[in-house]
Amino acid sequence: MSHLRPTATRRRFLGRAALHAASGLGLATIAVPRAGAASGGAREDAVAGAAARAAGRAHWPVLVVGTGYGGAVSALRAAQAGHDVLMVEMGRAWNAPGRDGRVFCKTLQPDGRAMWFRDRTQAPISSVFGLPVVDQRIARYAGVLDRVDLGAMDVYAGRGVGGGSLVNGGMAVTPKRAYLEELLPGVDHAALFGTYFPRAHAELRSATISAAMLASTNAYRYARVAMKQAEAVGLRTVRIPQVYDLDYLAREQAGTVPRSALRQEVIYGNNHGKQSLDHTYLAEALGTGRVTIQALTKVDAIRREPDGTWVVALTQIDERGTVLGRREVGCRALVLGAGSLGSTELLLRARASGALPDLPASVGEGWGNNGNVMAARWVNDRVGVVQSTMPVAAIDNWADPVAPSLVEITPFPMGFETMMVGHLAVAKIPERATLRVDPATDRLTSDWQRDGNAGAIRALKRVMDPMNRRFRTAYRSDLFGGGRIFGDDFCYHPLGGCLLGKATDAYGRIPGHAGLYVNDGALLPGSVGVNPFVTITALAERNAAEALLPDLG
Ligand code: FAE
């Protein structure tokens, strides 16, 4: 077998098989066995191996923290260039079915699999028509969705092998080039848009729904109603790419395969159809035979030895949260892909503890919520009982000179006719906050202000008000608690904290800390104007190709 040069498809197949085998057996260490490789996962650098053995710890050429978009890209590209990679992920692998035969729990009847060590779910919507559709009692477990309290702003994040790709809405939107040029002046945008965005879309397997499918799929009636009303008031509507397999969705609609998008599944994971990272980048990375994923293992701290070796302190838990052990692992290159909050927190703690006192002063700065705000309208029209959870259409109001935004058309799949349509706005707002670790509570917090989203609300109102006026429809006030119309105190798109070209060089390297990289949403300055995972992926591809791989040699 070793004489074959595996194709990407074959690598993905091997990687998926390894994920299945490991999660079926309840193993936290996931790898495709490679002939001649050291057992137990630790594949040592020839030079650093002796020192690592003397220190009693494993040593890897490359260690990646987190298995989200940035981490997955970094691991795949390093492995393809011939480097052995350990990926450390605090969440579990999501591939083995539970006792009910499902990998992920039901959205409207959640259990411990729903949330990261909570006694109750904490869903974005607290009720509909006064029905408590969420916030149900659950067992404490290493569930797939986390809600991190940052003071005036809560942040949702995915936990598990695949990071945010496990829980997100799959919208794969390329930002406006002019806006990204404004945000990232030190980047070659011809290369980013000419090479790396297409590469990201291809690897993520995004596709745009055809006009015919959008027009004919019952489960997108809600999108058609909102598009028609938006167009009637002169707003521009667009179809947006998805990573959910649209062929699978068509088969769901035809009733020939088990339902996922048509069965209300999204924020607590999709049992079918979603081309999350464990089906794409991570499967391919594992399939190289050079990547080992250590799940249910958190990186608590990072430091550097005088000889330049990076050392991470790890805690491994089981799915119930029991600590199984703590240890240290060394590496030559340390890539932080723990997401905006995770990567920034590791750096803030390293600076505060004195482990890395010379980290740039700007670590923690430039954090934002990507102008996220949610609301819903009663649309006075039937929107359908069965609705696809995977949005494929939006109102593009970016040309608005007063309050630009992209307003996505989102479902409310309650299992009955609601006559309402949801909207998630991604608005251009200047508000940014600084992340810090609060010494009193020892928790990550921010100075985000409660009214920080006022501009995003204004942008969303400029889209929704004209439709309400024209169609005599109304905002819903029964979704976010307290009669509020806008869900403005939580976000899905945390960005920043370790900005490209400020806390790092133009490629995610931390200045003065050779071998330390940030390659995830922490690099982006609080806003990209669209849902961010394609941008995070494209930028990570660029940083891997133009900095990480040349540095690794
Ligand atoms: P991320 O995907 O968050 O991965 C970081 C990983 O690191 C996670 O698996 C963590 O568990 C892990 N981790 C963190 N700290 C540690 C540590 N100390 N030790 C070990 N592991 C650690 O980062 N974006 C879109 O573009 N389109 C959408 O439709 C969309 N919908 C969303 C819906 C929801 C409900 C949510 C929560 C997010 C959504 N997003 C969407 C946002 C998107 O998923 C997010 O921007 C990316 O996942 C961020 O990618 P990163 O690589 O930065």
Q: Pick from 493, 530, 534 the residue to mutate for probing ligand 1's pocket: most ligand atoms within 8 Å of its CB.
A: 493
**Among candidate residues 362, 310, 367, 307, the one with its CA nearest the CA of residue 335:** 310
Residues 6+ apart with CB under 8 A from 90: 66, 159, 296, 297, 298, 299
Which regions of 355-419 does DSSP assign to beta strands (E)? 372-378, 393-396, 405-410
Reading the block at residue 104, the tokens are 């992920």
Q: What tens digit of pLDDT does each residue of 400-442 get? A: 999 999 999 999 998 899 999 999 999 999 999 999 999 999 9
Q: Residue 22: what pLDDT?
A: 87
> Separation of 118 CA from ligand 1 center, angstroms?
19
The residue whose CA is least distant from atom 11 of ligand 1 is 159
476 in ligand 1 pocket by Cβ < 6 Å? no
> Separation of 330 CA from ligand 1 center, angstroms?
25
143 in ligand 1 pocket by Cβ < 6 Å? no
User: 436 pairs with which residues across the strands?
Assistant: 445
Q: Give the position, in ligand 1's atom list, of the atom nearest the Cα of 71.
A: 52
Per-residue pLDDT of the chain (553 residues; tens, 9 = 90+): 344 456 889 999 999 999 988 877 878 999 998 765 544 445 555 556 667 777 789 999 999 999 999 999 999 999 999 999 999 999 999 998 999 999 999 988 999 999 999 999 999 988 777 776 667 899 999 999 999 999 999 999 999 999 999 999 999 999 999 999 999 999 999 999 999 999 999 999 999 999 999 999 999 999 999 999 999 999 999 999 999 999 999 999 999 999 999 999 999 999 999 999 999 999 999 999 999 999 999 999 999 999 999 999 999 999 999 999 999 999 999 999 999 999 999 999 999 999 999 999 999 999 999 999 999 999 999 999 999 999 999 999 999 999 999 999 999 998 899 999 999 999 999 999 999 999 999 999 999 999 999 999 999 999 999 999 999 999 999 999 889 999 999 999 999 999 999 999 999 999 999 999 999 999 999 999 999 999 999 999 999 999 999 999 9
Place of tokens 């990232």: 184
Distance from C-alpha of 487 to C-alpha of 372, rounded to nearest angstrom: 9
338 in ligand 1 pocket by Cβ < 6 Å? yes
Reading the block at residue 547, the tokens are 């900095």
For residue 167, CA distances in Å to 11, 198, 271, 525 come to: 24, 23, 11, 23
Q: Residue 312: what pLDDT?
A: 98
Give the β-pairing of 323-336 and 516-518.
Answer: parallel
66 in ligand 1 pocket by Cβ < 6 Å? yes
The residue whose CA is least distant from atom 34 of ligand 1 is 168
Q: Is 3 a catalytic residue?
A: no
Q: Which of 89, 408, 431, 541 is catalytic?
A: 408
Place of tokens 């959008």: 214
> Separation of 418 CA from ligand 1 center, angstroms?
30
Query: What strand order describes the sheet that includes 154-158?
Result: 145-149, 154-158, 490-491
> Separation of 537 CA from ligand 1 center, angstroms?
11
> Separation of 163 CA from ligand 1 center, angstroms?
5
Per-residue b or e along 408-446, where b marks 16 or more CB atoms closer than 10 Å to that residue's CB: bbbbbbbeeebebbbbbbbbbbebbbbbbbeeeeeebbb
> Separation of 2 CA from ligand 1 center, angstroms?
34
The residue whose CA is least distant from atom 18 of ligand 1 is 299
Q: Give the position, in ligand 1's atom list, of the atom nearest the Cα of 164.
A: 48
Q: Give the position, in ligand 1's atom list, of the atom nearest the Cα of 300.
A: 18
Reading the block at residue 77, the tokens are 């590209």
Q: Is 408 a catalytic residue?
A: yes
Q: Give the position, in ligand 1's atom list, of the atom nearest the Cα of 162.
A: 9
366 in ligand 1 pocket by Cβ < 6 Å? no
Q: Which of 59, 272, 423, 493 is catalytic?
A: 493
Contact 373, 427 (CB under 8 A): yes
Place of tokens 């390093």: 78
Q: Give the position, in ligand 1's atom list, of the atom nearest the Cα of 267.
A: 35
- Which is it for the CA torsion 272, 539, 456, 228, positive or negative? negative
86 in ligand 1 pocket by Cβ < 6 Å? no
> Separation of 347 CA from ligand 1 center, angstroms?
18
Which regions of 154-253 does DSSP assign to beta strands (E)? 154-158, 237-239
pTM (two decimals): 0.97
User: 115 pairs with which residues across the strands?
Assistant: 145
Q: Residue 39: what pLDDT?
A: 41
Distance from C-alpha of 265 to C-alpha of 514, rounded to nearest angstrom: 43
Distance from C-alpha of 228 to C-alpha of 66, rounded to nearest angstrom: 41
Q: Give the position, in ligand 1's atom list, of the atom nearest the Cα of 299.
A: 19
342 in ligand 1 pocket by Cβ < 6 Å? yes
169 in ligand 1 pocket by Cβ < 6 Å? yes
For residue 317, CA distances in Å to 62, 353, 472, 526 come to: 23, 24, 54, 32
